[in-house]
Structure 1
Amino acid sequence: MYMSTDEIREKFLQFFESKGHLRLPSFSLIPKNDKSLLLINAGMAPLKPYFLGIEEPPRRRITTCQKCIRTPDIDRVGKTARHATFFEMLGNFSFGDYFKREAIIWAWEFVTEVLKLPRERLWVTIYEEDDEAFEIWHKEVGLEPDRIKRMGKEDNFWEIGTGPCGPCSEIYFDRGEEKGCGKPTCGIGCDCDRFVEFWNLVFTQFDKDENGVYHRLKNPNIDTGMGLERIAAIMQEVDSLFDIDIVKAIRDKVCEVTSYEYGKDAEKDVSVRVITDHIRGTVFMIGDGILPSNEGRGYVLRRLIRRAARHGRMLGKKEAFLHLIVDTVVESYKNPYPELVQKAEYIKKVLYNEESRFNQTIDVGLEILESEIEKLKKNKEIILNGEIAFRMYDTYGFPLDLTKEIAAEKGIIVDQERFDELMQQQKERARAAQKELENAGWKDINIVIDEDIETIFVGYDTLEQDAKILKIFLDNEETAYVKEEDVCFVILDKTPFYAESGGQVADKGILEGEGVLAEVLDVKKGPKGTILHKVKVLKGEISVLSSVVAKVNEELRLATMKNHTATHLLHSALRKILGQHAQQSGSQVTPDRLRFDFAHYEPLSEEQIIEIEKMVNNVIQQAIPVEKIVTDLDSALKMGATALFDEKYSNVVRVIKIGDFSMELCGGTHVDNTGQIGMFKIISESSVAAGVRRIEAITGNKAYEFILNTQQTLKQLRSKVKASTDSEIISKIEQLENTIKALENEVEKYKLLVVENELSSLFGKAVDYGEFKLIVNRKETDDMDYVKLLTDKIKERDSKAIVLNIIQQGSKVTILMSCSKEAVKKGVDCGKVVKEVCSVLGGKGGGRPDFAQGGGNDISKIDMALQTAENILKDILKGSAQK
């Protein structure tokens, strides 16, 4: 019965391909256009738009093996045989095609005829009200009624958050009495390891909204999920998912790296399994472009990495080690996920940097946390203050879950309510800081559009189109017409205007009609294939069903196309020069410039930037035709086209192919020939987040203007430094630097002479306190550097001098006091003296015992302040004072 994990995966996908299903590769762990999920947590999650009918699926039948991340049961990972945060989910899906009968019959066929699992060890559950499923299992499959168990909603009604859901039927495998708990009630649903549920057939009939209301879907769908690791454990007759072939290899590597022999210590075995699970998840998350952070999916990644690092410490591994396991993970998964091979070095860098950063603070954090826990134990308390937990998170990078886990091991509970309050306050502060940004855009649009309304986009072929106005919305309300000066939203039956998408900004232009002129300010995609034009009426009135000519601003469109095609060239050049990990993380294409974010772990060198520019400009100079190929998604992927960041593709897609240099899926507008771009120039390279770099660049006329401006600047600079040629500018600047340095040295010499003269005067007025002298430097000046120099020289001449500077700067007074260590030993505290002095002046001050500073605004009380300082010092040094 043994079958490798790779074999099971492939046999499943091939089986459903034979049943007319389209095989799709695993989607990214990052959900696309789905705010209800942080990470893909089920095989059906990326397919929700197809289930809801929002998008057209590439085929009515689809099969996938989807990588998933789930963390609700993270505390059970490593402690049970089947819990994991990372797993693969095999699935077959029907979008309004087949339903319960085919799903059940095919599942049984695959299990019994392909996997050849013994029928007598298989059990089935159904939702208690699903008589239809019972009839199919009993009458068509031939399963005995006593092997079909009816279960309640909690067990056999599938839903995760909002979205598609419905009753389900699960298939269980009986691992034998020896795996059971021995209780008379042991059976399906028992918490022991005897009966293992490995395949869930979900009959998607409803859509659950945010209010918990179930809406019946027009076309019922099929969504199945079979845990690959679970079925592999059954087929390989092992006790745990950590024992199956591809996972055991990783577990063995963890033991090798940590020098621990698995099976010797139950608690340490848990740590090995936690690391084994978490390293798989982190490799795939980083591979999909997720980076560690304190929010969202980045927080989930950081939590997994830091949790694994802590368990490494429990195995005696204090230095960064997780990156040493990456190659083994890649080796285990390279067949179904070959992209990991190309990204391996990048993944190692990110892991090493994050773990090293954590190691720099973990000891201090652990010491503080353990100290707080010890205090609680001494006081016989069990609640850890939420403020401490928040400080651990905010200052030391401890995820709350890690703090809770460590505390729980000591029998301590964290006050999460207070933690959440502080977290909310922090979020509100951040939200307030971004208020202007949040109010920008179209976030306040709330219009309802009929389902039969659709806009045909013709902007790939023309920049001018006769069109009919289908809908007008003013202040979110549908209206029949709008008048001059109104700003409204218009839907046309046809439009040449490109709606903002894929990082490319919208076109601008005009709508013209008889006695009518309107400016198109912005264009966005609306629901169900509509395009919303934000327009301002400049002349006349616009009415529904009237005809207009839609004209795109040709100059802006052409500039945008140049920048968009250049973005594709830049993306390809980065991957060729930096490595395949340099994937797009975001972009913006405007007429003026392009902005491109990409995954990379360090700043680009000047040499790399020059090399990238040369490579892109070389392709531009070759005047290579830019092909726009319209095809189906499956064919495009087989061609080798790469998908852009955060895009959702229908079955019909556009491939932008630039010779052998670049080929990407893209719905944006592009030039016909790279020669049209003219020139490409990078103007900045910077960091936007940990592991994400940003390049800004310009093309065409903007690049030409940039060079002209640079030449003009050089010309002015040449004139300023009196250089005859551009190449002579540097040597002239070096001469000026030498001259400035010489002059600065002369100034310093002059300052020293002035200081020496002033020292004699100050020491002549000094007040003696035994072995100590109080030297008061009272003057008007803005040169505080000179004051500090004078203070240093006083102390050089007499190490026991106590220096009090009272410096008037306009209507303000600055106090600066310094004394020797000997004076501090006698009780002098500059911090306390300055605090009292500044209080007299109506201000504040303080500092260390040997140095302090402060200030005030009441210059009329300088004499009183000086007397205060002398009185304080006299009291402190009265034992040795001899005034």
Structure 2
Amino acid sequence: MKTAEIAQRYLDYFEKNDHVIVPSASLVTDDPSLLFTVAGMVPFIPYLTGVVPAPYARAADVQKCIRTNDIEEVGKTARHGTFFQMLGNWSFGDYFKEGAISYAWELLTSSEADGGLGFDERDLWVTVYEDDDDAAALWRRIAGLPEERIQRFGKEDNYWSTGQPGPAGPCSEIYFDRGPAYGREGGPAVDDSRFTEIWNLVFMQYSINNVRSKTDFDVVGELPNKNIDTGMGLERVAFIKQGVDNMYETDQVRPVLDRAVDLSGRRYGASHEDDVRFRVIADHVRSSLMLLSDGVTPSNEGRGYILRRLMRRTIRAMRLLGVDVPTFPELFAASRDAMAPAYPELARDYDRLSSYAIAEEETFLRTLASGSTILDTAVADTKRSGGASLAGAEAFLLHDTYGFPIDLTVEIAEEAGLSVDRDAFDTLMQEQRSRAKADAKARKRAIADHSVYREFRALGETTFTGYTDFETETRVLGVLVDGVSVDRATAGQTAEVILADTSLYAESGGQIADKGIIVGAGFELDVLDVQKPVPGLVSHTVEVKAGEVAVGHAATTIVDAANRRAAAQAHSATHLVHAALRDTLGKTATQAGSLNRAGYLRFDFSWSQALSAETKTEIEEIANTAVRDNLEVTTRVLALDEARDLGAMALFGEKYGDTVRMVDIGGPWSRELCAGTHVRTSAEIGLISLVGEASVGAANRRVEALVGMDAFRSLAAERALVAELTSALKTPREQLPARIAELSSSLKAAEKKIAALEARALGEKIPDLVARATREGNVRAVVQNVAGAASADDVRAVALQVRERLGAEAAVVALASVVADRPVIIVATNDAARAQGLKAGALAKAAAGVLGGGGGGRDDLAQGGGTDAGAVDAALDAVTRALRNA
């Protein structure tokens, strides 16, 4: 049974049983404490917790999920995968335990001919919470399960909560017995490899508080509305129904594995190590493709870092399989073909999605080449100094800065006869993880408990009137101070104010929040921010400037009209720039992020190379021509499918409901789904001036533009600057580029001549420096301040020549100078000095410490520096003392 068929049977069954079929939410969750949708219940949390009233009594879905906390286990077990799909059925105050158990048992055990999944009842076991006698009795009555196939577990395994005060409850898990070949008899309590969990039924029936840990909390009572939250792992059911050993061999994953086999020329099943690599590749390519399809792009932070890590682990695995040429064009195409029947958008958007993957592979292959050069140098230095182990700090630098995998570092070091100090590396890695966890914990603490918004959201959605009105009369529904609901806020306090209606735009879709005020009888509030903390609810962060605002007060929201008009100009200009980009570069140049504020826009788009000056001018001209043509801007609210049929662009990575707002500028010339505010005609934008274009990733570019009066002021300033230059250089405007190039060339020639003269003057000091050699300890030493050096390279050249002239006798040269207002010191030692244990790196480091900086290098030649130019003589004294004490 194909994976897609299992999912469809699930949805058909629950639709037949009066469940609303809900499409999968994005892998990119709205929850700021999560990077990704990590479980099927994440999109339903607002309904399960009661913060947002559920729009249906019962629902079912197939939810895309990503988990990376067990990434190191991928490929090693039958069930660990980064991307997976969770089948779920949900009841919000409707059916409870009996209904959930009945539905699960009927779907699992009904014959395939009757639309079920056809499991043999004898292969199924269940677990229940240790005190849940009701669930155990229902399993006996509904499923006829004998007592020995109903096992009881404690809170660690069979109790669910969010980890926060709120809803919680026992759960019941269904397991499939894979047979004696996979482990011992005795059920899930004995062997969870043989007995594989396929479905978890959560009975959300209690309210808890004083949560001290996952298993330590206070149950304060039963919930007034009990919910059902279930999750069945689609990949787990698929590998059981398809008769294969693990999820990597199912129909949606195996094609990538097979393509990796073809590319490597190695056989799957011949080697455990290679098999793990094949499975890692199959999992990570699919996971990467699905992340790309939901708007994540490779980067060095957050979600983009996770995607980059998955891709680079794939490249590394292919390298270990003997393939060091690009493979993503083949591997990603195989994943597309396997997944597109379930997710058609993968085929539709594949050219754009694959461009990110291919660019990332090209970049990392170059990184591996450069990292190998750095590693080769580190290995050579270690061997030259007689070391047997590469420093953990070196390995960590390669990993952290260059993305160079530790196992590759170990492999190359071992080939050179060295080990790697893994203890030091692991310590540094753990310190980094601890910092990251602390940061994440701090971010999570900074987020208010969203349950505080429950009572306000239960009153209905906030009505936004700002598309047509700059002022709106409303009433205060709630006041929050420091995340706590209170009845009022007084002058001088900062608070959140919840209103029934508002004309103030809440930040979304790249457009920042409106500025404005909220006024009422005896109070005035300065609006600092406007956000949507939970879907459908608008919260105004305000400073109480006068009086006090209380729940129930009448209030009027007043938008800063000038700021709003300028923001609308920028947002409409963004649409024009997007259309101009696609007109110039082609349909693959699509938006990948934006920011709009009064007078300014920033626009990211998928493109892999810099735009020429001619292309930027063309884009700017097309956009401003649309401004000149005074195109009509219209908006319509319609069904998502209807908007798509009309050609409206659903922007990459954005989330949309069933009903959307479509913005047309000039009819279909620019047609996008957008909830932002806009001008009435394009001429109101005034002017668009592109002021910047740069890379923001391997396959992403960013343009920045000023809009309206900000664009005019910028151009006026440039005009004034040109006028000043023409006057100062006594050159007509059209000849300025040539004149400036001429002056620049002359200046470079003069600087080069001066540098040569300074170097010659410094070189002429060599005989005098040699003559000043003194005996310090057991060596001849030249420890001098050579003022006037143009560069550290000049000081290095002189130091080497002085060392050469001192002959074979043990000698150390330490020369210092101030270059560009910063002190530098060069230390050189000869063979005889090094034989006595005098190392240039250690001496340079000692001197640099006096200069307020750092230093180091090879034993024969090293450099140090710092920030304290007045400490040069003291730094040289430190070298002299070190020599005398050696």
TM-score by length of 1: 0.75
Match for residue 595 of structure 2 among 580, 588, 601: 588
User: Aligned runs of 1:662-811 on 2, under 5 Å?
Assistant: 662-687=670-695, 693-724=701-732, 726-737=733-744, 740=747, 784=790, 788=794
User: Aligned runs of 1:244-263 on 2, under 5 Å?
Assistant: 244-263=250-269
Give the Cα–Cα distance (whole angstroms) in 1 for the partners of residues 122 and 645 of structure 2. Answer: 41
Instruction: Indicate the residue corresponding to 1:422 in structure 2.
Output: 431
Instruction: Indicate the residue corresponding to 2:416 in structure 1.
Output: none
Cα deviation 1:800-854 (Å, max 9, x = unaligned): 89999999999x9989889998999999999699989989x99999988679788
How far apart are 1:260 and its partner, in Å? Answer: 0.4
After superposing the two structures, state which structure 1 stretch, 499-508 or 188-197, moved more.
Answer: 188-197
Give the Cα–Cα distance (whole angstroms) in 1 for the partners of residues 391 and 752 of structure 2. Answer: 58
Match for residue 346 of structure 1 among 348, 356, 360: 356
After superposing the two structures, state which structure 1 stretch, 613-622 or 236-245, moved more.
Answer: 613-622
How far apart are 1:332 and its partner, in Å? Answer: 0.9
Cα deviation 1:583-636 (Å, max 9, x = unaligned): 655543221312334565554444553454345445444544434333566776
* Alpha-carbon spacing, 1:686–1:445, altered in 2? closer, same or farther (3 Å): farther
How far apart are 1:333 and its partner, in Å? Answer: 0.9
Instruction: Indicate the residue corresponding to 2:199 in structure 1.
Output: 199
Match for residue 554 of structure 1 among 537, 561, 582: 561
- How large is the RMSD of aligned CA atoms in angstroms? 5.9
Cα deviation 1:235-282 (Å, max 9, x = unaligned): 333333333223221111010111102233344223322322222223
Instruction: Indicate the residue corresponding to 2:574 in structure 1.
Output: 567
* Alpha-carbon spacing, 1:827–1:233, altered in 2? closer, same or farther (3 Å): closer
Instruction: Indicate the residue corresponding to 1:125 in structure 2.
Output: 126
Q: Give 2:562's aligned amino acid.
A: E
Instruction: Indicate the residue corresponding to 1:83 in structure 2.
Output: 80
Larger Rg: 1
Q: Give 2:359's aligned amino acid.
A: K
How far apart are 1:449 and its partner, in Å? Answer: 9.1
Instruction: Indicate the residue corresponding to 1:149 in structure 2.
Output: 150
Instruction: Indicate the residue corresponding to 2:385 in structure 1.
Output: none
Q: Give SS of 1:246's match.
A: coil
Instruction: Indicate the residue corresponding to 1:509 in structure 2.
Output: 516
Give the Cα–Cα distance (whole angstroms) in 2 for the partners of residues 411 and 728 of structure 1. Answer: 61
* Alpha-carbon spacing, 1:25–1:625, altered in 2? closer, same or farther (3 Å): farther
Work out whether residues 509 and 553 of structure 1, in 8 Å CA contact, stay in contact via their aligned partners in 2.
yes
Q: Give SS of 1:728's match.
A: helix
How far apart are 1:290 and its partner, in Å? Answer: 3.6
* Alpha-carbon spacing, 1:714–1:336, altered in 2? closer, same or farther (3 Å): farther
Q: Give SS of 1:200's match.
A: strand
* Alpha-carbon spacing, 1:194–1:612, altered in 2? closer, same or farther (3 Å): same
Give the Cα–Cα distance (whole angstroms) in 2 for the partners of residues 320 and 487 of structure 1. Answer: 55
Q: Give SS of 2:252's match.
A: helix
Determine whether 1:529 maps to 2:537.
Answer: yes
Match for residue 66 of structure 2 among 61, 66, 69: 69
After superposing the two structures, state which structure 1 stretch, 347-356 or 566-575, moved more.
Answer: 566-575
Give the Cα–Cα distance (whole angstroms) in 2 for the partners of residues 530 and 787 of structure 1. Answer: 61
After superposing the two structures, state which structure 1 stretch, 606-615 or 241-250, moved more.
Answer: 606-615
How far apart are 1:327 and its partner, in Å? Answer: 1.2
Instruction: Indicate the residue corresponding to 1:464 in structure 2.
Output: 471
Determine whether 1:284 maps to 2:290.
Answer: yes
* Alpha-carbon spacing, 1:389–1:733, altered in 2? closer, same or farther (3 Å): closer
Give the Cα–Cα distance (whole angstroms) in 2 for the partners of residues 133 and 295 of structure 1. Answer: 44
Q: Give 1:507's aligned amino acid.
A: D
Work out whether residues 50 and 454 of structure 2, in 8 Å CA contact, stay in contact via their aligned partners in 1.
no
Give the Cα–Cα distance (whole angstroms) in 1 for the partners of residues 872 and 374 of structure 2. Answer: 46
User: Aligned runs of 1:144-543 on 2, under 5 Å?
Assistant: 145=146, 149-153=150-154, 154-158=156-160, 166-173=169-176, 179=181, 181=183, 185-187=185-187, 191=191, 195-206=195-206, 211=212, 212=214, 213=217, 216-291=222-297, 296-319=302-325, 321-322=327-328, 324-341=330-347, 342=349, 343-354=353-364, 356-358=366-368, 360-361=370-371, 393-394=399-400, 397=403, 418-419=427-428, 422-423=431-432, 451=456, 456-468=463-475, 478=486, 482=490, 490-511=497-518, 519-525=526-532, 529-537=537-545
How far apart are 1:462 and its partner, in Å? Answer: 0.6
Cα deviation 1:384-416 (Å, max 9, x = unaligned): 999788667545646789999999xx9999689
Cα deviation 1:183-210 (Å, max 9, x = unaligned): 5x35465537665443333333356776
Instruction: Indicate the residue corresponding to 1:33 in structure 2.
Output: 31
Q: Give 2:228's aligned amino acid.
A: I
Q: Give 1:422's aligned amino acid.
A: E
* Alpha-carbon spacing, 1:793–1:779, altered in 2? closer, same or farther (3 Å): closer
Give the Cα–Cα distance (whole angstroms) in 1 for the partners of residues 375 and 787 of structure 2. Answer: 46
* Alpha-carbon spacing, 1:800–1:566, altered in 2? closer, same or farther (3 Å): same
Work out whether residues 287 and 347 of structure 1, in 8 Å CA contact, stay in contact via their aligned partners in 2.
no
Work out whether residues 491 and 532 of structure 1, in 8 Å CA contact, stay in contact via their aligned partners in 2.
yes
* Alpha-carbon spacing, 1:611–1:33, altered in 2? closer, same or farther (3 Å): farther
Give the Cα–Cα distance (whole angstroms) in 1 for the partners of residues 869 and 554 of structure 2. Answer: 73
Q: Give SS of 1:660's match.
A: helix
* Alpha-carbon spacing, 1:545–1:93, altered in 2? closer, same or farther (3 Å): closer
How far apart are 1:418 and its partner, in Å? Answer: 4.5
Work out whether residues 521 and 536 of structure 1, in 8 Å CA contact, stay in contact via their aligned partners in 2.
no
Give the Cα–Cα distance (whole angstroms) in 2 for the partners of residues 619 and 308 of structure 1. Answer: 45
Q: Give 2:720's aligned amino acid.
A: Q
Q: Give SS of 1:670's match.
A: coil
Q: Give 2:704's aligned amino acid.
A: E
Give the Cα–Cα distance (whole angstroms) in 2 for the partners of residues 639 and 359 of structure 1. Answer: 48
Q: Give SS of 1:345's match.
A: helix
Q: Give SS of 1:31's match.
A: coil
Q: Give SS of 1:47's match.
A: helix
* Alpha-carbon spacing, 1:325–1:593, altered in 2? closer, same or farther (3 Å): same
Q: Give SS of 1:312's match.
A: helix
How far apart are 1:350 and its partner, in Å? Answer: 2.0
Give the Cα–Cα distance (whole angstroms) in 1 for the partners of residues 177 and 719 of structure 2. Answer: 79
Q: Give SS of 1:460's match.
A: coil
TM-score by length of 2: 0.75
Work out whether residues 827 and 840 of structure 2, in 8 Å CA contact, stay in contact via their aligned partners in 1.
no
Q: Give 1:346's aligned amino acid.
A: Y
How far apart are 1:104 and its partner, in Å? Answer: 3.9
Work out whether residues 387 and 418 of structure 1, in 8 Å CA contact, stay in contact via their aligned partners in 2.
no
Q: Give 1:198's aligned amino acid.
A: I
Show structure 2 runs of 5+ residues with no match. 383-387, 414-418
Work out whether residues 845 and 864 of structure 2, in 8 Å CA contact, stay in contact via their aligned partners in 1.
no
* Alpha-carbon spacing, 1:792–1:295, altered in 2? closer, same or farther (3 Å): closer
* Alpha-carbon spacing, 1:629–1:136, altered in 2? closer, same or farther (3 Å): farther
After superposing the two structures, state which structure 1 stretch, 23-32 or 205-214, moved more.
Answer: 205-214
Identity of aligned residues (%): 34
Q: Give SS of 1:67's match.
A: strand
* Alpha-carbon spacing, 1:517–1:392, altered in 2? closer, same or farther (3 Å): closer
Q: Give SS of 2:703's match.
A: strand
Match for residue 43 of structure 2 among 35, 42, 46: 46
Q: Give 1:613's aligned amino acid.
A: E
Give the Cα–Cα distance (whole angstroms) in 2 for the partners of residues 237 and 579 of structure 1. Answer: 46
